[in-house]
Chains A and B, each alone.
Chain A
């Protein structure tokens, strides 16, 4: 368990990341602030505590299968020194540097082009397989959205990884219970989600996706011999009260008044 001062450090990084995300999205009128805010803590936990992202071929890999949340990834990679301030400033601009979905660029920490949902877990399984055959120690982490679990290809990969016991593969599900057009419960219900993964041979960890203590505990207690999944119970739009749990903020970009109000809350 992390000490209080350490938790404060992670919370401070998360706060900076959210402000960065807000700036990128407000400046460019971009969508996806809600799904970016819901994944901040898991990204910060991975990059600042669990992953070695800069060890060449031995590095741990992270794939943002829910590529639309990339403002959060870019902001975290900037905090890690992998993406420059200039690159962040070029997000979603004509002739700019970073798209609204990530494009393969291992030098900047982007391990695959993602954004088409249902691809990431298969790619991650291939990377995990390569690591196992090569006898390498690295882990492959892949973050999926809950809506993404509607894609059949995800379950092909879930079956494959379970069958082969890929214990160097860690899936993370951002279970904020909202997808593009509404609540997951109303569109295609996913519950009992943990039981589904368990039935396919995975070790399931259910955690509060905004609680560093719970995330650290789960990522520090991964099961051997089978793949692990963290089902992250999260809040879409987490961190800005009027964005939380409102599907509107899947697409809406804040206007000036909303931007100021959001910034005020995040700086508090």
Chain B
């Protein structure tokens, strides 16, 4: 996913005089092409994320388009206040490209997990928050980010990642993507959990249940229209995200449902506070421990539907 994003960005970087790329000493080999193409517009600022955000703000205030890269907690949590003041309130054209959504970094442990980033970034004024679901979406989002003049947070997974599309999809920021239409339940997912959502729909279909699957790739601005529409046509709505259940996709969707007077079944699937405590393991293992496998999810959804 990272490579797909950066390959698309590199094409634009080669053709531009005003595009700068900064990293805080992460992304091994990821930036070789940038350094070779225009070394005066690529900087490894060192392990100094707060400084990176300030430098990006200064460049942007002089008319530059700037991309900042690091692993998510270091990119958006360490320098949160610099992002708030220097980027978000200023409304600057700075893109924050974060690697390692959710449990991507597995055995590296919770210091490297991204479980609160969507809540933090969605709370900021002027900030657009986008989560591609697969490498082809990451490529498409890179293209969209180049046309977007303003602050944007892009949450990427790790290397590779699941495959949803067989060609680069048409995407629009703030407009969710319906991947499958059904009648019994609606599943709204974001990021790599979109793939899980598709597998869930397949498993539910074997149980005779038809499921709508929506890829909510933009968390902010949220496509409230599609949520309201799903509420009026589906008796059950579920959200799936690799993020704390507080402040992410589930919270955002629940607010829209409540404001629309939704009285059907609603359940959020995500990561409970402290879920990663005491577990050592890879990302797949940790997702399973949080119930985020297609098997667990389809079982839990079936149970919810039977009770309704």
Contacts and interface: CB of A to CB of B under 8 A. Distances in A.
A130 B63 contact: yes
A121 B62 contact: no
Given A126-B61, A126-B62, A130-B58, A118 B90 contact: no
Interface string B239-278: 0000000000000000000000000000000000000000
A122 B51 contact: yes
Nearest to A121: B54
A119 B79 CA distance: 10
A105 to B, nearest CB: 11
Interface in A90-126: 104, 111-113, 116, 118-126
Interface in B54-84: 54-64, 79, 81-82
A156 B58 contact: no
Given A116-B81, A130-B58, A130-B64, A123 B86 contact: yes
Nearest to A138: B62
A122 B63 contact: no
B59 A156 contact: no
A123 B57 contact: yes
Contacts of A190: none
Contacts of A104: 61, 89-90
A184 interface: no
Given A133-B40, A133-B41, A160-B51, A112 B63 contact: no
Given A116-B81, A121-B54, A127 B62 contact: yes
Contacts of A118: 50
Nearest to A103: B89
Contacts of B43: 129
B48 interface: yes
A140 B89 CA distance: 22
B96 interface: no
B85 interface: yes
A118 to B, nearest CB: 7
B282 interface: no
Which of A116, A140, A152, A153 has the most chain B CB within a 10 Å cutoff?
A153
B229 interface: no
A130 B57 contact: no
Contacts of A140: 58
A123 B41 contact: no
B46 interface: yes
A118 B48 CA distance: 13
A112 B89 contact: no
Interface in B165-204: none
A57 interface: yes
B51 A157 contact: yes
Q: Which of B41, B48, B60, B90 has the largest count of A CB atoms less than 10 A from its CB?
A: B48
A157 B63 contact: no
Given A112-B61, A131-B62, A160-B51, A153 B82 contact: yes
B30 interface: no
A113 B58 CA distance: 11
Given A104-B90, A133-B41, A160-B45, A125 B85 contact: no
Contact of B54 (A57, A111, A125): A125
A128 interface: yes
A122 B62 contact: no
A125 B86 contact: no
A135 B43 CA distance: 17
Interface in A130-166: 130-131, 133-134, 140, 152-153, 156-157, 159-160
A195 B180 CA distance: 65
B53 interface: yes
B64 A156 contact: no
Interface of B: 40-41, 43, 45-46, 48, 50-51, 53-64, 79, 81-82, 85-86, 89-90
Interface of A: 57, 104, 111-113, 116, 118-131, 133-134, 140, 152-153, 156-157, 159-160
Top-10 shortest CB links A-B: A126-B58, A122-B54, A130-B62, A156-B51, A126-B55, A156-B48, A153-B50, A127-B58, A123-B58, A126-B59
7 contacts: A104-B89, A119-B54, A121-B54, A122-B53, A125-B58, A127-B61, A129-B55
